[in-house]
Structure 1
Amino acid sequence: MASAPVVDSVGADGAETVLARAVSELVRRTRFPVAFGGLERDQRIHVTSVVGARTRSLDGLVVEASRGLGGRALVEKRPRLTLDYGSSRSITHDYDRAVLGEGIATLFAVPVMVGARARGVIYCGSWNASPVGDVVARPAFAVAEELSTELRVRDEVERRVARIPLPSESGALSAGTREELRESYAELRSITAGIDDAALRGRLERLERRLAALSSPAPAAADEAGIRLSPRETDVLACAALGSTNAEIAAMLSIREGTVKSYLQSAMAKLDASTRHAAVATARRMGLLP
């Protein structure tokens, strides 16, 4: 069965927003006054965020793989440091105009690893020679790891969304398509449940509502009946719809098994259902689940 085009996206713009937040965190958590960073595209680091700079020389910087300090960090997949950028013999000096134009002496470059791939590089620097010990390195590594987690979530969401099939021209969903749609919906709900980024959560929730509406013959039925499931009740019911046990749902959503039971009972009461299967059927009929 062929997959349809992506229904929605959490794409590049969102990733660059998260990158910008990470760069700001570098300045806040380390003692370095300047931070900048970029994501990798076509074996180049495209710097899109700069914080604390006194000039505009770093704006729009594009760093080739293996070139400069960041290019080496990208290829070697490990942090790189120079205490005196201008005189360093361990790097190429392709970007002296940008880096020295800002007056940077010490520069620390940390690759952002997602799996085995370096997705970008974040830098922190100072205008004077500054030692870089654990006090600086640990928070910089923590910021890089947090950014890695955000990008990994986005990659996973994009992958799952790309697999979601849409109805045929007739508007009918085959049994296989409907089942894949339901599995994708439950997976997206479980991903959303673990995300702290409010903007990303909102985009995923809008996508989830669109998926639920795809297979619902009466998407407004729940509104008309005044039925409102909480996000967690919906999460649990979406997993239950796939035949998952309470223990499996608890593991998927990182909550206690007793909490799963509580949410299921609450959802069943709202839907006036005596079993989880009846609750799922009612939720689907009312457009609350695909």
Structure 2
Amino acid sequence: MSSYIATQRSRGTESDEQVLARAVADLVRRTHFPVAFGGLEHDDAIHVTSIVGARTRSLEGLVVQASRGLGGRALVEKRPRLALDYRSSRTITHDYDRHVLGEGIATLFAVPVLVSGRARGVIYCGSWAEAAVGDVVARPAFAVADELSSELRIREEVERRLKLSTPAGEASALAPAAREELRETYAELRSVAASVDDPLVRERLQRVEQRLAALTSSETDAAADLDVKLSPREIDVLACAALGSTNAEIATALSLREGTVKSYLQSAMAKLDASTRHAAVARARRAGILP
């Protein structure tokens, strides 16, 4: 692995647990349930690492085995599970009563976090009194789980391609195939970010994009002195063009009109002082705008 990649991973790069913690905090805010907690799956068990709103320390260190308790069932069945009256529920095992009832939770709602069909974890929201769980609670809880799932999926894909980019024992320079993988990932992230409404999620995706673009910075011509400012949409379109996509294909990928794509390309070409899209891509790479 190149020293650059190692440095980037050590500089404020969030762990999966930190991403989960933000989602759990968001769960309380959006569902209005007083307590929420969650954990990621490791070795067929949910390791609870984030707790928000608890009045006791009963939930700390909780590890839920697959198929056990409410969360264990949600993990295995890959669907939400509800215990309206947790203490008297007959549909779950009560392996974790000491933790759940110790916190005084009466109603508990567990939602699995699915990434590419695999349960990566479970997030819970609970109430100290029996509380109905209708659309007002369920919809935002599902939304939080979906957003967390999307971010974990993107992180997994980025890490997979980063590992491919510099196999052990090779020089830090990216091999041609790895470089193309990197560029495809970058274009895909630009497309995903363009469709996300949440400004915080978009900001996090942009940081990942910058990280990917910087991976090839050592291979770019630092002396090019290209002081160019492209708009986000111009970069979106140019990133797709870099993969050889036609205007029609770019329009489909970015949900734009073909004429709009052409306008963005022409604007980017003008700013980069390039007569063709290929020249624009090359100059954008030298400027460190594209990987």
Q: Bin the TM-score by the shorter chain.
A: 0.7 to 0.9
Q: Which residue of 1 aligns with 2:264?
A: 263
Contact 1:6 1:162 in 2 (8 A): no
* Structure 1 segments unaligned to the other structure (5+ residues): none
Pick the structure with greater CA Rg.
Answer: 1
Q: Which residue of 2 aligns with 1:275?
A: 276
Q: Which residue of 1 aligns with 2:236?
A: 235
* Structure 2 segments unaligned to the other structure (5+ residues): none
C-alpha displacement of 1:121: 0.9
Q: Give the 3 Å change call, closer, same or farther, for CA 38–6 of structure 1 in structure 2.
A: farther
Q: Give the 3 Å change call, closer, same or farther, for CA 5–161 of structure 1 in structure 2.
A: farther
Q: Give the 3 Å change call, closer, same or farther, for CA 96–201 of structure 1 in structure 2.
A: same
Q: Which residue of 2 aligns with 1:56?
A: 57
Q: Give the 3 Å change call, closer, same or farther, for CA 268–58 of structure 1 in structure 2.
A: same
Q: Give the 3 Å change call, closer, same or farther, for CA 125–182 of structure 1 in structure 2.
A: closer
Q: Which residue of 2 aligns with 1:107?
A: 108
Q: CA-to-partner distance for each residue in 1:14-63, whole Å, 9 max, x for gaps?
A: 43233223222322233422111111111111112212111111122111
C-alpha distance in structure 1 between counterparts of 2:202 and 2:63, whole Å: 30
Q: CA-to-partner distance for each residue in 1:52-108, whole Å, 9 max, x for gaps?
A: 111111122111111111111111112222222223333222211111111111111
Q: CA-to-partner distance for each residue in 1:238-280, whole Å, 9 max, x for gaps?
A: 3212221112122233333233222211111112122212222
Q: CA-to-partner distance for each residue in 1:81-138, whole Å, 9 max, x for gaps?
A: 2222223333222211111111111111111222321111111111122233333323
RMSD: 3.2
Q: Give the 3 Å change call, closer, same or farther, for CA 56–251 of structure 1 in structure 2.
A: same
C-alpha distance in structure 2 between counterparts of 1:167 and 1:240, whole Å: 31
Identical-pair percentage: 69
Q: Counterpart amino acid of 1:162? A: K
Contact 1:178 1:215 in 2 (8 A): no
Contact 1:192 1:204 in 2 (8 A): no
C-alpha displacement of 1:176: 4.6
Contact 2:165 2:179 in 1 (8 A): no
- Stretch of structure 1 that moved more, 94-103 or 131-140: 131-140
C-alpha displacement of 1:179: 4.3
- Stretch of structure 1 that moved more, 168-177 or 278-287: 168-177
TM norm structure 1:
0.83
SS in 1 for 2:36: strand
